[in-house]
Amino acid sequence: MGRGQLRRISPPDDLKRFNEIIHQRRGRLLEEWRGEVRRLPTARNMDAPTLNDHIPSLLDELASALIAGHTESVLDLQLERSPQIHGTQRLRAGFDIVEVVAEYNILREILYGVAEEDGIDLSGDISRILNRVIDRTIALAVDTYAKEKALEMQKRREEHLSFVMHDTTRATRDDSSRSSAAGDHLQQRSRSASRSVRIADERGL
């Protein structure tokens, strides 16, 4: 092996190569990711397009950040609305919040593995960019998932309360009707008794 082959690739070259790998091996990356994610109980029987959801566009955003050579902090990083939509989609599909986080971390592990296979230096900018993009995506997806879940639970509580109130009102109305009927019956008996006394008086009994 010559000296040129032993030369350590500079960080800018690593950024470019990693970007190219993401584009060139997109199909393989997605296939491997789906295979791992389907080990999650909820994802087991999902079709490929539904399972993929926004992951292809996330790979594009990561590739763009690698080309730029930098990215904002996790709090300042601006991404498309796809993570928020993903959080809602996963809630509707029955994922729990742990599974939502797990599928992103699976993607992170696969990307690290591919980089290592190709001898790409994962220290410095590459690791920082990769982690910031995925961590920000997780934060957005989880935040949306949690808010949507809270709204769903509130709606269920309101529906349950409405059901209970309806039953209570109906029971109260029924009790009132029974009480009214009982009162009418007593009044009728009272009137009958009064008539009997009056008749007896008239007959001198």
Could you list the residue range(s) of the whole structural domain that residue 147 is in?
8-153
Q: Please say whether the beta carbons of 86 and 80 come within 8 A.
A: no
Number of domains in the chain: 1
Find the mean pLDDT for residues 100-127: 92
Distance in angstroms (rounded) separating the CA atoms of residues 7 and 67: 22
- Has residue 198 been placed in a domain? no
Q: Please say whether the beta carbons of 16 and 53 come within 8 A.
A: no
- Has residue 165 been placed in a domain? no
Kind plus residue range of the DSSP H or E element containing 51: helix 48-52
- Has residue 193 been placed in a domain? no
What pLDDT does residue 170 have? 67
For the chain, what percent of residues have pLDDT higher than 70?
A: 66
Residues 137-151 pLDDT 10s: 999 999 999 999 998
Angle subtended by helix axes 125-202 and 55-68, to nearest 10: 140
Find the mean pLDDT for residues 52-68: 89
79 has pLDDT over 60: no
185 has pLDDT over 70: no
Please report, as a single letter, which amino acid is at residue 69: G
Find the mean pLDDT for residues 37-56: 94
Q: What is the CATH number of the domain that holds 46?
A: 1.10.490.70
